[in-house]
DNA sequence: TCAAAAGTCTATTACTATTATAGACTTTAT
DNA sequence: ATAAAGTCTATAATAGTAATAGACTTTTGA
């Protein structure tokens, strides 16, 4: 209530015109962001060249993610079949598939829902958007392009692609 | 409160795992959607071949947008310099520039904020994302691609492009 | 066999912004 | 002078996100 009070103090409700309050709509949620970070970490090969087994605490500390929140996220990803886990001493999470077989798009869809900017162009969660004629709706045509391009990138990028790219960047930095 | 109550009735809080409640994050807000629809309508040439002057009521009825909400949105777009308006009888809104000079990206940024899925890849609203090393952050590398591709499409599409495409589609439908 | 480490399950709280509505006011044409 | 239209400000209703809490279960190994 802090922030809202502040704004109200200096004339809150006229914010539509005057203030651009923290507006950031077409973005990942924290859940999505944290989930992707965790998955990338779980896909990064360790010293043995294989993806590691990691505990919630470890991921949460290294990526600065609230542990209890991360717990829920990993559980969701586990129930979706992307992670396996082991309880008890020496347990933890690890990828349920090859890193090359898990796309960023899959992860985002599980955690944040459809990739489409409007439902009427969503492949996985289509809903009519209420325009008089969908076929000739300009918004729909434009947003369809956006959806396709987002999906192309996210579905076309696997966790392995990401970790490979990271290590390439690391090497090119060292070479400087 | 309806929907939430329903869900609470059938075991609400465990929704992270079980339910995929209306999650749809990487999307336009209603404000953004309504604003784009209105702008496209204002850019669609009338019988004289020119973009029309339209009243709030007219747009609101044809696009089924709550009038008072639309009013705020159009005011925002006006204050951002994309629309002109005329008060009084026979007044209304019209584009402040050529339809070819207004991009979808500009409209979305005004109404919904940055296009980037995470702030650390935003060109217009950069903020550090808290990862240990930005340069080698896998999430950042991947989301940078997404941002660029969204920006390329939305900044590269003008209202004129949209209305042209709509009329092309209309013609090809008639030709069937 | 028991204690500690780790994940699992469910509930709940705090917060915040979005979406929408209300109404008084100003400008302009006829 | 009146009606039509936009302007300005405030507020209400909604809803989901992000985070926290705690009791429970499984597993290892001293």
pLDDT by residue (tens digit) across A88-147?
Answer: 999 999 999 999 999 999 999 999 999 999 999 998 889 888 788 899 999 999 999 999
Q: Is the pLDDT of residue A70 over 60?
A: yes
Inter-chain residue contact A112 with B23, CB threshold 8 Å: yes
Inter-chain residue contact B131 with A37, CB threshold 8 Å: yes
Q: Which of A114-128, B30-44, B127-141 is the most confident on average? A: B30-44
Mean pLDDT of the region B68-80: 95
Give the residue with greater pLDDT, B116 vs B2.
B116
- Give me the pLDDT at residue A31, please: 94
Mean pLDDT of the region A147-165: 97
Give the residue with greater pLDDT, A3 vs B18.
B18
How far is it, in rounded angstroms, from Cα B136 to Cα A163?
10
Average pLDDT of every residue of chain B: 88
With cut-offs at 50, 70 and 90, classify the pLDDT of residue A3. very low
Distance B35 CA to D3 C1' (A): 28
A54 CB-near residues (< 8 Å, 6+ apart): A41, A42, A92, A93, A94
Checking phi first, is residue B34 left (phi over 0); if not, alpha (psi -120 to 50) or beta? alpha
Residue nearest to nucleotide D27 (CA to C1'): A88
Protein CB footprint (7 Å) on chain D nucleotides: 3-12, 14-22, 25-29
Residue of A nearest to B125 (CA): A24
Q: Is the pLDDT of residue B12 over 50?
A: no
- Give me the pLDDT at residue B129, please: 85
Select the residue of B24, B33, B149 nearest A114 (Cβ to Cβ).
B24
Model pTM score:
0.90
Give the number of C-alpha atoms closer than 13 A to the C-alpha of residue A6, restricted to the C-beta side. Answer: 5
Six-digit token string for B72: 């705020």
Q: Is the pLDDT of residue B161 over 70?
A: yes
Mean pLDDT of the region B134-147: 96
Average pLDDT of every residue of chain A: 88
- Give me the pLDDT at residue A17, please: 43
Which residues from A are below 8 Å from B104, CB to CB? 142
- Containing H/E element for A85? strand A83-86
Give the residue with greater pLDDT, A72 vs B15.
A72
Q: How deeply is A114 buried, as exposed, middle or buried, from its count of CB atoms within 10 A (0-12, 13-18, 19+)?
A: buried
Cβ pair A154, A146 in contact under 8 A:
no
- Give me the pLDDT at residue A63, please: 94
Q: Is the pLDDT of residue A60 over 90?
A: yes
- Give me the pLDDT at residue A49, please: 92
With cut-offs at 50, 70 and 90, classify the pLDDT of residue B98. very high
DSSP H helix total and E strand total for chain B: 7, 2
- Give me the pLDDT at residue B110, please: 93
Give the residue with greater pLDDT, A52 vs B19.
A52
Distance B91 CA to D3 C1' (A): 13
Residue of B nearest to A110 (CA): B20
Q: Is the pLDDT of residue A15 over 80?
A: no
- Residues of chain A with pLDDT > 70, as a percent, come to 88
- Give me the pLDDT at residue B19, please: 43
Inter-chain residue contact B26 with A173, CB threshold 8 Å: no
Mean pLDDT of the region B4-9: 34
- Give me the pLDDT at residue A21, please: 57
Mean pLDDT of the region B43-52: 95
Mean pLDDT of the region B40-54: 96
With cut-offs at 50, 70 and 90, classify the pLDDT of residue B62. very high
């Amino acid at each position: 209530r802090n922030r809202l009070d502040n704004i109200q103090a200096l004339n809150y409700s006229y914010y539509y015109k005057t203030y651009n309050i923290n507006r950031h709509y077409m973005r990942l949620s924290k859940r999505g962001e944290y989930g992707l970070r965790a998955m990338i970490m779980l896909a990064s090969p360790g010293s043995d060249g294989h993806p590691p087994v990691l505990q919630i605490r470890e991921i949460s500390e290294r990526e600065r993610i609230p542990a209890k929140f991360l717990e829920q996220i990993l559980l969701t990803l586990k129930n979706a079949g992307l992670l396996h886990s082991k309880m008890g001493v020496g347990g933890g999470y690890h990828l349920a598939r090859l890193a090359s077989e898990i796309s960023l798009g899959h992860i985002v869809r599980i955690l944040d829902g459809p990739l489409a900017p409007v439902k009427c162009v969503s492949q996985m969660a289509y809903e009519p958007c209420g325009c008089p004629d969908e076929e000739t709706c300009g918004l729909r045509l434009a947003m369809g392009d956006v959806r396709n391009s987002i999906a192309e990138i996210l579905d076309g990028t696997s966790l392995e692609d990401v970790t490979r790219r990271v290590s390439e960047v690391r090497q090119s930095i060292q070479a400087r």
